[in-house]
Chains A and B, each alone.
Chain A
Amino acid sequence: GQQVMQIPQYQHVQEGEDFTTYCNSSTTLSNIQWYKQRPGGHPVFLIQLVKSGEVKKQKRLTFQFGEAKKNSSLHITATQTTDVGTYFCAGRKGQNFVFGPGTRLSVLP
């Protein structure tokens, strides 16, 4: 079945450093969504990408969807302590979504 992988599993950065997490699917995705979950919280929707090669920006966050629609990335510029949390990608599979295992980001002040 379809698998969605994310790397790295954990990332520790110093505040102000950049951060990137990568999402890879074994099959082509019709779309991909990104979510952020703070420790002890619930996932919060960040963005949805639909088109091949699509790039979207939200302030310090840049999201990309690969040309083959099998991979995606989330890049955070100049991390802040408020960026702490786990970032999940989710690829659409048939009627539902398959979530990646997430990348846990910790930011040291």
Chain B
Amino acid sequence: NAGVMQNPRHLVRRRGQEARLRCSPMKGHSHVYWYRQLPEEGLKFMVYLQKENIIDESGMPKERFSAEFPKEGPSILRIQQVVRGDSAAYFCASSPDRVGEQYFGPGTRLTVT
């Protein structure tokens, strides 16, 4: 059973471009969380999705950020018109239910130049 997959692992974007981060949860997991982590800091919750539904997006900026988890395919975190402050590691985690342990992917390191 493959673990949580994220791609790309590293992404470099110029200011104003779009960043698209993908997360494939573990097989059988329908719950996906996205977190952002700055160097030497903790994990900041962004959004929680369950197949085709956004359950909680309270941690995600209202502008430029969006997330989806379609019926088929990976979950996608989309950042439009990136700015330098968006540079961070973005982790997704999947879970078999809404209260269980979370299995994290390797993360996408986004650098905005």
Contacts and interface: CB of A to CB of B under 8 A. Distances in A.
Interface of A: 30-31, 33, 35, 41-45, 48, 88, 90, 92, 94-102, 104
A41 B91 CA distance: 10
A99 B42 contact: yes
Interface in B77-112: 91, 93, 98-107
B42 A88 contact: yes
Size category, B interface: 20 to 34
Interface in B43-79: 43-45, 48, 55-56, 58-59
Q: 9 smallest A-B Cβ distances: which pairs?
A: A101-B42, A45-B101, A95-B56, A99-B43, A42-B104, A43-B104, A96-B48, A99-B42, A96-B56
A104 B40 CA distance: 9
Nearest to B41: A101
A43 B99 CA distance: 17
A45 B42 contact: no
Given A43-B91, A45-B102, A94 B42 contact: no
A104 B102 CA distance: 20
